[in-house]
Amino acid sequence: MTVRTELPDGSPVWLVTRYTDVRSLLADPRLSVDKSNGNGSWRGFSLPPALDANLLNMDPPDHTRIRRLVSQAFTPRRVEALRPLIQQTADALLDALDGRAEADLVRDYAGPLPVTVISELLGVPETDRPDFRTWTRTMLLPPGGDRAAAARAIGSIHAYLQRLLAVKRAAPAGDLLSALIAAREDGDRLTEDELTSLAFLLLIAGYENTVHAIGTGLLTLLSHPGTPVTPETVEELLSQEPPASMLLRRFPVEDIEVGGAVLPRGETVLLVVSEANRDPDRQGGHLSFGHGVHYCVGAPLARAELEIALGTALRRFPKMRLAIPAEEVRWLPSFRARGLSELPVLLG
């Protein structure tokens, strides 16, 4: 289905839901992610230029140049090397729950795990991580939330990243940010804004979707006790509950006909992955990590995090069960993302 509708904030959008349409539009160069190709009706986040010059707002060839740099950090070999860190992080978070009768797995587990992993990868010091989590949560408030607080949080993240990049520039370490700075200085391949924006995107993208995927994955597994956590289970969970359910937004650079409708140039198109995955005519893999040039660069890392996070929690607390009926678990009031605001469980 391809329909025109309005978002809760009143902005007009086209929703595309058929699998074949979503998949082909994701690979279609006539759809741009660059907001300057939009007619201005899309609100989205209002980010300063130093955070906005990120991959998800950029078309080729700029996109290709930056993507090449960052994809080197997420090769299967590098992700394999991160598995012990993910495991230690999961173990430490679960150790901290020992002896407790109850927990909120979003607050105590699904939230802190990805932020630790991405911070380690990028080189964000441990003492700064709680601040970063608070700012991110505030920034990602659903529409109708406190916009002034969200703007302040964005300002804090921006200032923090500038400080962090200055520290890494003065004293390079073995982390990804230091490597990206070196790439910037070597032949000027990244502008300063592109560098800051990339750091920002990696922190946000490496965090939000993964928190949601772990949270919803645990909810599904606790509702279906005995399901083994295999790579196939992880794919099925991602397919059923894509965290970025409507996050894939595009602007046609010319009128495009799809599913009997015309997507007019400059209007906002949202590709509804959750519906596409459920399409009875689906032929091909799920689209929860996107498709085409913007396909999630962190997908191998996300898969490893999910497999370890879900498997470890269920093994460590085999009697764990939901503290309230599954239908009463609260979801974030957001059209953009599919994630839980809490997951209360009984541990013993």
> Which residues would be at the binding site for ligand HEM (CB under 6 A)?
55-56, 67, 118, 201-202, 205-206, 209-210, 213, 242-244, 248, 288-290, 294, 296-298, 301-302
Rg, C-alpha atoms of the chain: 20
83 phi and psi angles, rounded to 5 deg: -60, -45
Residue 128, Cβ neighbours under 10 Å: how many?
13
d(C-alpha 16, C-alpha 263), whole Å: 10
Please, which residues bridge with residue 321 across strands? Answer: 346
CA distances from 122 to 3, 117, 125, 170, 322 (A): 40, 9, 9, 16, 34
In the bound state with ligand HEM, the residue whose beta carbon lies nearer, of 158 and 347, is: 158
Q: How many CB atoms lie within 10 A of CB 261?
A: 15
> Residue 55 or 90: which CB sits closer to ligand HEM?
55
If the CB atoms of residues 66 and 320 are measured against ligand HEM, the closer one turns out to be 66
Minimum gap (Å) between residue 348 Cβ and ligand HEM: 29
- Nearest approach, Cβ of 299 to ligand HEM (angstroms)? 7
Helical ranges in the chain per DSSP H: 19-26, 49-52, 62-71, 76-95, 105, 112-122, 129-139, 147-170, 176-185, 192-205, 208-223, 231-240, 273-278, 299-316
Per-residue HEC secondary structure of 331-345 comes to ECCCCCCCCECCCEE
Toward ligand HEM, which CB reaches closer, 31 or 222? Answer: 31
CB of 242 to ligand HEM, least distance (A): 6
Nearest to 39 by CA among 336, 262, 256, 253: 253
Q: Which residue sits closest to ligand HEM, CB atoms considered?
A: 298
Q: How far is the CB of 265 from ligand HEM (least distance, A)?
A: 19
- Closer CB to ligand HEM, 106 or 323, in the complex: 106
What is the 8-class DSSP label of residue 141?
A: P
Of the pair 243, 323, the CB lying nearest ligand HEM is at 243
Cβ 35 to ligand HEM, closest distance in Å?
Answer: 13
User: Considering beta carbons, is residue 200 or 347 the nearer one to ligand HEM?
Assistant: 200
The total of other beta-carbon atoms located within 10 Å of residue 76's CB is: 9
- Give the nearest distance from C-beta 244 to ligand HEM in angstroms: 4
Least distance between ligand HEM and beta carbon 194 (Å): 13
Strand partners, 261: 258
Q: How far is the CB of 60 from ligand HEM (least distance, A)?
A: 10
Q: Which burial class, exposed, middle or buried, applies to 125 when counting CB atoms under 10 A from its CB (0-12, 13-18, 19+)?
A: exposed
Please tell me what DSSP assigns to residue 160: H
DSSP calls for 47-104? --HHHH-SGGG--TTHHHHHHHHHHGGG-HHHHHHHHHHHHHHHHHHHHTTTT-SEEE
Instruction: Please report how close the Cβ of residue 226 comes to ligand HEM at its closest, in angstroms.
Output: 23
Closer Cβ to ligand HEM, 78 or 107, answer by number = 78
Tell me whether residue 18 or residue 303 sits nearer to ligand HEM (CB atom).
303
CA angle 44, 155, 113 (to 5 degrees): 80
